[in-house]
Structure 1
Amino acid sequence: MTFSIPGPFSMVLNTMPVRAEIYGRSGNGEVLSQEALDTAIGEISLWPGYSQTPLVELDGLAAATRVEKIFYKDESTRFGLGSFKALGGAYAVLRLLQDAVQAATGIRPDSGEFAAGAHRARTASMTVTCATDGNHGRSVAWGARAFGCACVIYVHAGVSQPRRAAIAAYGAEVREVQGTYDDAVRKADSDARVNGWHVVSDTSYEGYTEIPRNVMQGYGVIAQEVQGQLPPGMRPTHVFVQGGVGGLAASLCAWFWEADVASAPVFVVVEPDQADCLQRSARAGAPVVAPGKLDTIMAGLACGEVSLIAWQILSHGADAFMTVADEAAAATMRLLADGMKGDTPIVAGESAVAGLAGALLAAGDEKTREALKLNEHSVVLVIGTEGATDPELYRQIVGQSAEEVRQRTAVCSGAAQP
């Protein structure tokens, strides 16, 4: 079996000093830290339904790409929500409610107390809100229902009805905003100020950093799990991860940087070419807004403005910034669904595959391979951030349903895909 991932793609190497000093000396430790991650893991690991998501070895694809290993962290099963976002939005909701109860009583309850309804009389009058392209809002809504508060979620017109329905299923009110994701961010913020609601956003801006920091800290669970799942003695030499506002990328970048700056992997951030705020920022050396309608099938990455605290880490932690076209994402979805030379078929949504698409395009271009030091000894880590969160769109792109792919996975593995 052969494959071809369509271009074009672009890559910008970071011109700033990259990981020139130990993590934290430039203030990064105030954004994310292993100590705060330990707190997040302590809570999240106690939530009902918690289990590590699979780390899948794609040996057939690695051989075809001329690298030693490709590891795909499949977040499609995370807490039954279909994406990694459960780790961030719901955790930030929990921290917000913990702060409120502690301020009123002097006692900081854990997630189990909220889940049992112990503080519902106090939290039921609180409302959390955010803007979303789908997955983050679903996580916030899930967290609000699980821990006992109300929820209003803002979406832009491009968010599909299935994604809206998935949010509403957790009891949230869903409101549409004309414009882009960033317009929805601003509307959620303004309405929250008027109504006394609490914004639980995955992007930070001037004067708003604490809650996005908690969101990003929750994402660090992914890297912590990967560390324990890799074969003994093996570490990634390269990480290709989705951009968006930069929260997930910054969380993983910070984890590897803080763990050991000397052996930190080459870190590449990948975005849609129609929503390239991070690459534009890398070119400019400062946060830059991506203009236009941000029209991409990678809906979860359709973001035009960089999260400020994510940029603080990525501006000196990422080695390169790539963009890929929608055609590359679609082809990578189909590639994963089909399996490569014995690889397990994987259900991956549109936003799940940007990092892998970037890795495949980089590995297939000799100049880019050389620039990123990709070779036959490279161990590549990518994060499959979502499953088929829009089942109908998935079928249209892949040509088969997610269930059909899972059935073939069961045949290949002898057991149903989790």
Structure 2
Amino acid sequence: MFLPNRNALHGEPLDATDAETLGIAGADTVERFLAHRDNHAMTPLHALPALAGELGLAALHVKDEGFRLGLGSFKALGGAYAVFRLVLEEAGKRLGRPVDIEDLDRADVRSVAAKMTFACATDGNHGRSVAQGAELAGARAVIFVHAGVSDGRIAAIARYGAEMVRVDGNYDDSVRQAAQVAAEKGWSVVSDTSWPGYERIPGLVMQGYTAIVREALRQLCEPPTHVFVQAGVGGIAAAVAGHLAIVLGDARPTFIVVEPARAACVVAAARAGHVVKVAHDQPTVMAMLECYEASQVAWRVLARAADAFMAVDEDDAVGAMRRLALPAGSDPVIVAGESGGVGLAGLIRAMAENRADLGLDGKSRVLVINTEGATDPHRYAELVGMSPADVLAGKLVAEATP
């Protein structure tokens, strides 16, 4: 499934609100907040020369978010950041003075935070970020998970002190229930998807993701010519595409959104010209991307800043996981979860079927993002045939072999 962006808005500047959210000043704020996180460090950017040569590319780089802030996923950047912003804004109102990130541990600010409850729906990673942010700020978190979320992912969220609520149905059902319960109880919803009338907080979540782009551009010797990024509701894809469009302008890379064929809600939006709900059929192995309705804000950005949309099959995703775990030549070992290697899966499929459509050739420099490590180690071992520890141990053996 491949669809060039034929939307009338394609190539137009971002909506003013989105440009402010995803622009340079917003990214500066994110970096300032990250500087106050005890375990913040720039995540690795790996070159894969062997795979690039095999595919017929000049260069292939993987930005590895499996190390982000101890949560193993890019989502660590979004939910917690939004929680901090909301706590500080509320504290500023209640205390009658300006409050910033360095005040987060002050007793008067924490007293305000203690009266706040943050709710969200999650497939796993976003909920961990919101729960961690609430714990660090001294607030309460209630996390809604749908029937398909594994026990391992639920336990990973609960360890941050969050109250867990199981919801029948899929991710979209959990989004609706979280919003309903939060409205009844006066809680703040920190969602990574948006809907009419609810856009600012998902925008803050997306703003958090701009740190990935800024780091990658610093780490690369030259900007990429092509970027493949996976999408659930579209937040990470929109954040990356939007920030690249702002900072690189006419020199921005060709941007391709990649989704599971079984949950291709952004492809459906591209085909319809607006956000639509797609039918829920079989679940996808790409658990963190199993979403059936795109975010309104994300689609508004992608309609302008994405160049093509594509979907990959289950085997494509698992194949990318295995290829990263067992690389050829001098390529490094990378542990990618079920959704982490989907951008790479899209690239491999595109090189076989859509090379000419996208202008991919021997001069192309491609960037993909490993959006998660093995956030569910048991599931990773089932799919790859090795535990994450064994995959990394193999790397250590290879490095020690003369």
Range into which the TM-score falls when normalised by the shorter chain = over 0.9
1:251-306: CA deviations, max 9, x gaps? Answer: 00011100122111000000000100100111111111111146111111001111
Aligned to 2:96: 106
1:348 paired to 2:336: yes
SS of equivalent to 2:98: coil
Question: Of 372, 380, 400, which residue of structure 2 is paired with 1:386?
Answer: 372
The amino acid across from 2:379 in the alignment is L
Find the aligned partners of 1:408 and 1:117 in 2 and give their Cα distance.
47
Could you say what secondary structure the match of 1:102 adopts?
helix
Q: Distance in 1 between matches of 2:400 and 2:90?
A: 48
User: For residue 29 of structure 1, what is the aligned residue in structure 2?
Assistant: 19
Match of 1:205 among 195, 198, 206: 195
Tell me if structure 1 keeps the 8 A contact 2:336–2:372.
yes
Q: Does 1:215 align with 2:201?
A: no
TM-score, with normalisation over the residues of structure 1? 0.93
Shift of 1:413: 4.3
Q: Which residue of 2 aligns with 1:58?
A: 48
Answer yes or no: is the 8 Å Cα contact 1:70–1:381 preserved in 2.
yes
* 3-state SS, counterpart of residue 304 of structure 1: coil
- Distance in 2 between the 1:225 and 1:68 partners? 21
Q: Where does structure 2 lack aligned partners over 5 or more consecutive residues?
A: none
Once residues 399 and 112 of structure 1 are traced to their aligned partners in structure 2, the CA distance between those partners, rounded to angstroms, is 45
Query: Which string of whole-angstrom CA distances, capped at 9 and with x for unpartnered residues, describes residues 33-81 of structure 1?
Result: 2211211111112211110000000111101111011100000011110
1:77, 1:29 → 2: CA distance? Answer: 28
- 1:70 maps to 2:60: yes
Return 99-108 or 24-33, whichever deviates more: 24-33
2:237 matched residue in structure 1: 249
Indicate the larger mover: 376-385 or 285-294.
Answer: 285-294
Residue of structure 2 aligned with 1:406, choices 369, 374, 392: 392
User: What are the equivalent positions in structure 2 for 1:274-353 lying under 5 Å apart?
Assistant: 274-293=262-281, 295-353=283-341
Give the aligned partner of residue 172 of structure 1.
162
Distance 2:323 2:15 in 1: 42
Q: Does 1:12 align with 2:10?
A: no
Does 1:374 pair with 2:345? no
Maintained 8 Å contact 2:64/2:371: yes
Contact 1:43 1:110 in 2 (8 A): no
1:166–1:410 Cα change, 3 Å: same
Deviation at residue 18 of structure 1 after TM alignment: 6.2
Tell me which residue corresponds to 1:131. Answer: 121
Paired with 1:203 and 1:281, the residues of 2 have a C-alpha distance of: 14
* Superimposed CA distance per residue, residues 111-157 of structure 1 (whole angstroms, 9 cap, x where no aligned partner): 34324655222211110000000000000000000111000000001
Q: Partner residue of 2:175?
A: 185
Residues 145/379 of structure 1: CA separation in 2 closer, same or farther (3 Å cut): same
Secondary structure, aligned partner of 1:386: coil
- 1:353-396 per-residue CA deviation (whole Å, 9 max, x = no partner) reads 1111000110122xx10000000110010010000001111000
1:407 partner amino acid: A
Cα 1:90/1:17, change in 2 over 3 Å: same
2:85 corresponds to 1:95: yes
Secondary structure of 1:154 counterpart: strand
Instruction: Find the counterpart in structure 2 of residue 141 from structure 1.
Output: 131
Secondary structure of 1:128's partner? strand
Percent identical residues = 45
SS of the residue corresponding to residue 131 of structure 1 reads strand
Query: 1:150 matched to which residue of 2?
Result: 140
Describe the shift of the 1:222–1:117 C-alpha distance in structure 2 as closer, same or farther (beyond 3 A): farther
| CA distance 1:27–1:113, shift in 2 (3 Å) | closer
The 5-angstrom pairing of residues 41-52 of structure 1 reads 41-52=31-42
CA distance in 2, matches of 1:210, 1:250: 15
Describe the SS at the equivalent of 1:350: coil
Aligned residues: 401
| Residue 270 to residue 86, structure 1, CA distance change in 2 (3 Å) | same
Matching of residue 397 in structure 1 with residue 387 in structure 2: no
Matched residue type, 1:306: A
Given the superposition, is the C-alpha separation of residues 26 and 152 from structure 1 closer, same or farther in structure 2, using an over 3 Å criterion? Answer: closer
For residues 77-129 of structure 1, the C-alpha deviation after alignment (integer angstroms, 9 at most, x for no partner) is: 11110101110000000011011001112333333432465522221111000
**For the structure 1 residues 380 and 265, does the alpha-carbon distance in structure 2 shift closer, same or farther, using more than 3 Å as the test?**
same
**What is the rounded CA distance, in whole Å, between the counterparts of 1:409 and 1:17 in structure 2?**
48
**Ranges in structure 1 where 5+ consecutive residues have no aligned partner:** 1-9
Cα separation, partners in 2 of 1:121 and 1:381, compared to 1, 3 Å: same
> Which amino acid is 2:345 matched to?
A
Alignment pair present for 1:265 and 2:253: yes
